[in-house]
């Protein structure tokens, strides 16, 4: 079976979760001004299948800041067809933690 495709011929959900994690990491790194690690995915909802060749965009929204943690709502949208409105594919709640070079937590700046 192709690596990024599921048994229905649609894109494997894990591939999309990986893209969402990358988008969240970029946002968290910016806020943390340095290295972060994903500590939790508190919720993940798959609303629609993605077809091979679809154009997908991920959007992040920081919703909570702790001492070292950053909770981010992340959504993926499909926007392949300029004639039609974008459609939400997934939504998830990810938590990232600011870490130092030794991998230990550090307070957010
Ligand atoms: C649905 C699936 C379908 C697809 C299915 C196929 C999958 C297909 C691939 C997908 C892929 C995905 C994307 C993977 C993304 C990675 O790669 S995840 C793996 C990478 N991450 C890591 O390796 C991190 C490992 N964890 C650690 O090293 C340690 O837990 C950490 C991050 C250093 C934190 O250490 P700690 O001792 O817990 O630190 P502690 O001081 O107790 O807590 C620090 C902060 O974290 C917060 N925290 C700790 N634990 C939690 C928690 N559980 N929740 C929330 N906050 C927490 C604390 O509240 C605290 O917050 P602040 O009060 O400081 O703001």
Task: Determine the distance separating the centroid of ligand 1 and the alpha carbon of 28, expressed in angstroms.
Answer: 13
Structure confidence at residue 89 as a pLDDT band (50, 70, 90): very high
State which residues form the domain around 90. Answer: 2-98
Residue 108 placed within a domain: no
Task: Determine the distance separating the centroid of ligand 1 and the alpha carbon of 95, expressed in angstroms.
Answer: 7
Residue 34 placed within a domain: yes
Is the beta carbon of 37 within 6 A of some atom in ligand 1? Answer: yes
What does the pLDDT look like over 29-38, one tens digit per residue? 999 999 999 9
Is the beta carbon of 21 within 6 A of some atom in ligand 1? Answer: yes
ipTM of the complex: 0.91
Q: Which residues contact 42 (CB under 8 A, 6 or more apart)?
A: 71, 92, 93, 94, 95
**CATH number reported for the structural domain that contains residue 50 in this entry:** 3.10.129.10
Structure tokens at 15: 């591939």
Could you give the dihedral angle defined by the CA atoms of residues 12, 85, 76 and 46, in that order, rounded to the nearest 10 degrees?
Answer: -50
Residue 107 placed within a domain: no
Q: Whose alpha carbon is nearest atom 18 of ligand 1?
A: 38
pLDDT the model gives residue 22: 98
What does the pLDDT look like over 38-85, one tens digit per residue? 999 999 999 999 999 999 999 999 999 999 999 999 999 999 888 889
Residue 1 has pLDDT above 90, yes or no: no
Q: Whose alpha carbon is nearest atom 23 of ligand 1?
A: 37
Q: How many domains does the chain have?
A: 1
Closest to 28 measured CA to CA, from 96, 94, 104 = 96
Residue 72 placed within a domain: yes
pTM of structure: 0.94
Round to whole Å and give the CA distance between 41 and 9. Answer: 26
């Amino acid at each position: 079976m192709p690596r990024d495709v599921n048994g229905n011929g649609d894109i494997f959900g894990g591939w999309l979760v990986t893209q969402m994690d990358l988008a969240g990491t970029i946002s968290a790194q910016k806020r943390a001004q340095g290295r972060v690690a994903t500590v939790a995915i508190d919720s993940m909802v798959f609303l629609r299948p993605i077809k091979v060749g679809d154009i997908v965009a991920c959007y992040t929204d920081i919703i909570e800041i702790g001492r070292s943690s950053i909770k981010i709502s992340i959504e993926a949208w499909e926007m392949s067809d300029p004639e039609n409105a974008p459609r939400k594919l997934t939504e998830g709640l990810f938590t990232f933690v600011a870490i130092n070079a030794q991998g230990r937590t550090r307070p957010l700046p």
